[in-house]
Structure 1
Amino acid sequence: MTKPPMRNTPNRGDYTRRSSPAQTANSGWIWGRHAVLAALQNSKRKVIEIRVTRNAAKELPAGIAAARIYEPREIDQALPDGAVHQGFALKASALESEHINAVVDPTHGALLVLDQITDPHNVGAIFRSAAAFGIRAIIMQDRKAPPLFGTVCKSAVGAAERVPHIAVTNIADTLKSFRKAGRHVLGLAGEGDISLADAIAGYDGKGHGPGLVLVMGSEDKGLRPRVASECDQLVRIPMMDAIESLNVSNAAAIALYEASKWRPARGKASASDPED
């Protein structure tokens, strides 16, 4: 994302306690106050089971009733070791992927593509930044991304329920289709020959606006060669020499902030717009 490809800790995925699975392909546990309350407000989540403490039950939305009140240790038993649940745990269905055709058109908002980013803490933090800066959707490879349960949802602090995700089989082919549709694709890489801010601003300084696509590479290897080749430009985040690289979620937050500067204001006509 910056100088050399980012290095990060190995995938700390959602492991299970004893023989009880924390998640399957179609369902899984979500824990933590913000994550659970956001999931309950998401009509696309099918609730399978709710476990809350007596105090947590008081914060459940109107019309939501837990089957029973649980002691904290009983909630612990359903979750991975070390899960900080704050008295809230919810077993729910997986969120369905939005169809790629819904976002191909450049007028449908800026997009973020995650090329095999697998650490659930990073993915959750990226969802949180995407929600903060108005990203239309996050695109991930269907076989190389953590499921939207557990640690992802806890780190996203509810944002995994608010930012649509799209699962695709081939990232490079998806980027090619975006470019053919008129989107501008920027890949963040240490070897980028232009700064992120300059690339977003464009040659005329007016920015690439809602058609922008940002691509982030994996924690250990960065962008794969074919994915990089399908980007219009490889860009970097300028940094002082004292630090060699940024964590991928930190780099994503910076990139999304830069991209948000070029979101067009809605509902207000420019003073320079011609009159009818």
Structure 2
Amino acid sequence: MAGNSKRRGATRNAGSKKGAQVGTGGHGRKALEGKGPTPRAEDRPNHKAYKAKQRAEKEAAKRPQKAVKATPRDRTSGSLELVVGRNSVLEALREGMTAHMLSIFNRIDADDRVTEIVSLAVEQGVTVREVTKATLDTLAGGSPHQGVALEVPPYQYAEPQDLLEAPAPVRIIALDGIQDPRNLGAIVRSAAAFGATGALIPERRAAGMTVAAWKVSAGAASRLPVARAVNMVRAIEEYKKAGLFVLGLAGDGDVQLHESNLLDGPLVIVVGAEGEGLSRLVREACDQVASIPIAASTESLNASVAASIALYEASKAVARA
């Protein structure tokens, strides 16, 4: 009878370590619960499948790992550049710049610029594809794209002598070692705004017309030719032989910018590198070095700001002449 503690064997002897207990105390039920589901053969150490799996993992570890490649449609070709941002893309298309593909966010909040971008792309036979934001982020490499990206051929630089072929008066902005592409883009934008003939940059150790420069130029790079010089001093000397005066900008200039008598004629304005200013040889090649008067509490002006002021002063002088 259940619970009959008087039957033989129902209780332990008083000398037991754990004391007297009624029944099995649940030990029988625990034995019936089992050890859970049977492990797979490849997870049992004594099984041949386990040993085969171990050998396979060791062999795989020895083999070189293949890099994960991006989807070809989600990146530009190595021979292409990317123009991003609504203003930059719109200006490039308005100028009829050769383009291969326009990628546009599939859920873009379209405005007048987006409408014109798509319309111009279709008119010019540019392939248009709708993509996700993640794809555009990958294409732009972190640059703000505003939902549009245009794949174009690499920037075609002009030759230094090409900048002399514009209508008079020729005005060239020469950048002596500008390193920041955003400064380059800003200067190109100002040069286009104030009627410069073109921009001259060194071929080495200086910023080039990259995506960042394109972005800041707001498309002005499609209107203003940018030339690269193998030797900056030699190119400046060639401009002097062609009848241009060369005006350098420096904080310790010989005259103040507004007092220069060179602004109304054919001119090369030379801006030095951020922080370092004009290099010695370039400064020596200048006909005149001018400073921009600023408050004593300000150490210096940003290179792109200084260039913009000089270009503006030159445009005023030409208008008065």
Structure-2 separation of matches of 1:25 and 1:151: 17
TM-score normalized by the length of structure 2: 0.68
Q: Which residue of 2 aligns with 1:47?
A: 99
CA distance 1:193–1:19, shift in 2 (3 Å)? farther
| Offset of residue 49 of structure 1 | 2.5
When structure 1 is superposed on structure 2, of 132-141 and 104-113 the one drifting more is 104-113
Residues 26, 113 of structure 1: CA spacing in aligned structure 2 closer, same or farther, 3 A cutoff? farther
Deviation, structure 1 residue 58: 2.9
- What is the letter of the counterpart of residue 115 of structure 2? K
- The structural deviation recorded for 1:107 is 3.1
Name the structure 1 match of 2:267. Answer: 212
1:147-188 per-position Cα deviation (integer Å, ceiling 9, x unaligned):
323111111111111111111111111111111222110010
2:160 pairs with 1:100: yes
- Give the equivalent residue in structure 2 for 1:37: 90
Return the alpha-carbon distance in structure 1 between the equivalents of residues 239 and 128 of structure 2.
46
1:197 aligns with 2:254: no
Q: Alpha-carbon deviation of 1:143? A: 1.8
Instruction: Please say if 1:230 is aligned against 2:282.
Output: no
Check whether the contact 1:22–1:28 (CA below 8 A) recurs between aligned residues: no
* 2:116 corresponds to: 59
Distance across 1 between alignment mates of 2:77 and 2:232:
24
2:148 maps to amino acid: F
Q: In the comparison of the two structures, how many residue pairs are matched? A: 241
Tell me how far 1:22 sits from its aligned partner.
7.9
SS of the residue corresponding to residue 175 of structure 1 reads helix
User: Structure 1 residue 210: deviation in Å?
Assistant: 4.0
Moved runs in structure 1, 4+ residues, more than 6 A? 18-25
What residue ranges of structure 2 are gaps of 5+ in the alignment? 1-67
Deviations 1:172-223 (A, max 9, x none): 1111111122211001012212111111xx1xxxx54240110001112111
Task: Tell me if 1:180 matches 2:232.
Answer: no
**Aligned partner letter, 2:243:** G
Query: Which of 113, 120, 128 is the aligned partner of 2:181?
Result: 120
Q: 1:141 to 1:23 in 2, by over 3 A?
A: farther
Are residue 157 (structure 1) and residue 210 (structure 2) matched?
no
Partner of 1:97, secondary structure, is coil
Counterpart residue number, 1:5? none
Cα deviation, residue 24, structure 1? 8.4
Query: What is the Cα deviation at residue 264 of structure 1?
Result: 4.6
Matched, 1:78 2:78: no
Structure 1 stretches lacking a partner, 5+ long:
1-17, 271-276
Deviates more, 1:72-81 or 1:168-177: 72-81
Q: Give the direction of change, closer, same or farther, for the CA distance of 1:109–1:243 in structure 2 (3 Å limit).
A: same
Describe the SS at the equivalent of 2:100.
strand
Q: Does 1:260 align with 2:315?
A: yes
Q: Secondary structure at the match of 1:37?
A: helix
In structure 1, the partner of 2:54 is none
Q: CA deviation at 1:129?
A: 0.8
- Higher-helix-fraction structure: 2
CA distance in structure 1 between the aligned counterparts of 2:292 and 2:305, rounded to whole angstroms: 11
The correspondence for 2:228, drawn from 167, 171, 175, is 167
In structure 2, do the counterparts of structure 1 residues 222 and 71 end up closer, same or farther at CA, with 3 Å as the change threshold? same
Please give the alpha-carbon distance, in whole angstroms, between the structure 2 residues aligned to 1:101 and 1:252: 21
User: What is the deviation of 1:126?
Assistant: 0.8
CA contact (8 A) 2:76 2:139 kept: no
Matches of 2:285 and 2:301 in 1, distance apart? 23
Structure with greater contact order relative to length (CA < 8 Å, sep ≥ 6)? 1
